[in-house]
A and B are shown apart, each in its own frame.
Chain A
Amino acid sequence: MISMPPTERDLHAYVDHQLSDADRQLVETFLASHPHVCAQVRAWQQDAQLLRAALSGALQQPANPELDPAQIRRRLKRHSRRQLANAAVLLIAVSVGGLSGWQAREMTFVSAQAPMADALQAYRLIAEQGILPADYKATDDGTMQAWLDRYFTQANRLPDLTGAGFKPVSGRLLSTEQGPAAMVVYEDLSGHKISFYVRPPGPKNFMLPRGSRSDGGLQAEYWSGGGYNYAMVSPSDTPAARMLRQTSQF
């Protein structure tokens, strides 16, 4: 039983229907003779009512099939074998930082399908859409190599593309199912972009024969060396893509 006059907490509990019937009666009697308090309580009640009305529309959204429990169960099952790998990925993603982990998680789902699909995905996210900001911006020639060396000591040297007008401008660390990856973006004076992507070959030590493929308007040249897998990505059918294809050695 609450005591009179009701405390502010009692009044909130009254508004929220969290008082016993007897207490509710007591508060109502009190409010009837205290118009000032009553106005305050009615205002709270009105706000709650307006809020309920305003938010009721949000319950009427068309269903999203992606959110159906059966669908989610199927997805969970499909990915359960990868869960261990994903846990590791998310861990790295957290240390790499931010919601990029979510993006990186997406990337891990496609990585198994085609060689270096993650490099293409990274190009789209970073070079095309600018969704992930750079971790490092090059100040002058040579600093980008030093940045990369901090993470990938044994890796192939960054290719020198100055002959074609491209210079390394920024770098970004990413996480993938195969381990931490880095992507360096080259840019020429007119803003065309080429990416250099390096990551470990993964737990199965999967080394790639030298190859090339295009996918969704992008072209990737890939190869292995020094214990890592590499890809260079550029938009297909551009002078840059032809240049990459003709360069036999990076």
Chain B
Amino acid sequence: MNDIDEQLREIIPRLRRFAVSLTRNASSADDLVQSCLERALSSWGDKRPEGDLRAWLFAILYRQFLDAHRRSRRYARMLEFFTGGDDAQPSVERTVIAQSTLEAFDRLPTEQRALLLWVSVEGLSYKEVAEILDVPTGTVMSRLSRARQALRQLSDGEITRPALRRLK
């Protein structure tokens, strides 16, 4: 049991980082991590699959976030309370003011943020991501490709700005 706890302790900072990238709010992120760990610990014996523990926990946390998010749509004020606002969608105006990769990342839709974090930041394999999302590997790759293009476009805002200034 202590061995399991040690493994979990190492992963918790990564879970918290992932949760913040989903909720954009530190305290609701920790609530999410907590319920993820509760779920993981109570279903450890029968549900824990072979393979990367991290990927399994990411999957639990992601599903819990989506469930809560979906349910909360009915109560817009609660949503604001938990996440500090609705999903920001990329727009032309926002593209121009995107100043850093992180800002651009924050403006991506939920699934694209999750994909980029899993693949580019955490280094999960396409197969592991496919299992988390329960889709074929090919689908992961095409969604990842779209996510990268979107991030690229938003980050390119930096370059657009000086060009606009020169026009004046």
* Interface set of A (CB-CB < 8 Å, partner B): 8-9, 12-13, 16-18, 43-44, 47-48, 50-52, 54-55, 58-61, 63-64, 66-70, 72-73, 75-76, 94, 97-102, 131-133
| A67 in complex: contacting residue of B33, B72, B81, B155, CB < 8 Å | B33
What CA separation (Å) do A58 and B20 show in the bound complex? Answer: 8
Q: Which residues of A contact B72 (CB under 8 A)?
A: 98-99
Q: Which residues of A contact B68 (CB under 8 A)?
A: 99, 102
Decide yes or no: A72 and B38 within 8 Å by CB, A47-B148, A55-B117, A98-B78 being known contacts: yes
In this complex, what residue of A is CB-closest to B1? Answer: A73
Q: Which residues of B contact A18 (CB under 8 A)?
A: 125-126
Determine if A54 and B105 form an interchain contact, defined as CB atoms under 8 angstroms apart. yes
| A-B pairs, 6 with minimum CB distance | A98-B75, A50-B101, A54-B102, A48-B120, A58-B17, A69-B5
Determine if B13 and A59 form an interchain contact, defined as CB atoms under 8 angstroms apart. yes
- Shortest distance between the CB of A207 and any CB in chain B (Å): 33
Can you list 24 residue pairs at the A/B interface with Cβ under 8 Å?
A9-B142, A13-B126, A13-B141, A44-B148, A47-B101, A47-B148, A47-B151, A50-B102, A50-B155, A51-B116, A51-B120, A51-B121, A55-B17, A59-B13, A64-B30, A68-B9, A69-B4, A69-B12, A98-B71, A98-B74, A98-B78, A100-B78, A102-B31, A133-B77
What CA separation (Å) do A8 and B143 show in the bound complex? Answer: 12
- Shortest distance between the CB of B59 and any CB in chain A (Å): 18
Determine if A16 and B120 form an interchain contact, defined as CB atoms under 8 angstroms apart. yes
Q: Which residues of A contact B20 (CB under 8 A)?
A: 58
Q: Which residues of A contact B121 (CB under 8 A)?
A: 48, 51-52, 55
- Shortest distance between the CB of B90 and any CB in chain A (Å): 15
Chain B interface SS verdict (over half): helix
Determine if A12 and B30 form an interchain contact, defined as CB atoms under 8 angstroms apart. no
- Residue B63 CB within 8 A of the other chain: no
Decide yes or no: A131 and B101 within 8 Å by CB, A52-B120, A68-B9, A69-B8 being known contacts: no
- Shortest distance between the CB of A62 and any CB in chain B (Å): 10
Q: What band does the interface of chain B fall in when counting residues whose beta carbon is under 8 Å from A?
A: 35 or more
Determine if A8 and B145 form an interchain contact, defined as CB atoms under 8 angstroms apart. yes
What CA separation (Å) do A60 and B100 show in the bound complex? Answer: 20
Determine if B74 and A67 form an interchain contact, defined as CB atoms under 8 angstroms apart. no
Determine if A97 and B16 form an interchain contact, defined as CB atoms under 8 angstroms apart. no
Determine if B148 and A61 form an interchain contact, defined as CB atoms under 8 angstroms apart. no
Decide yes or no: A51 and B105 within 8 Å by CB, A59-B17, A68-B9 being known contacts: yes
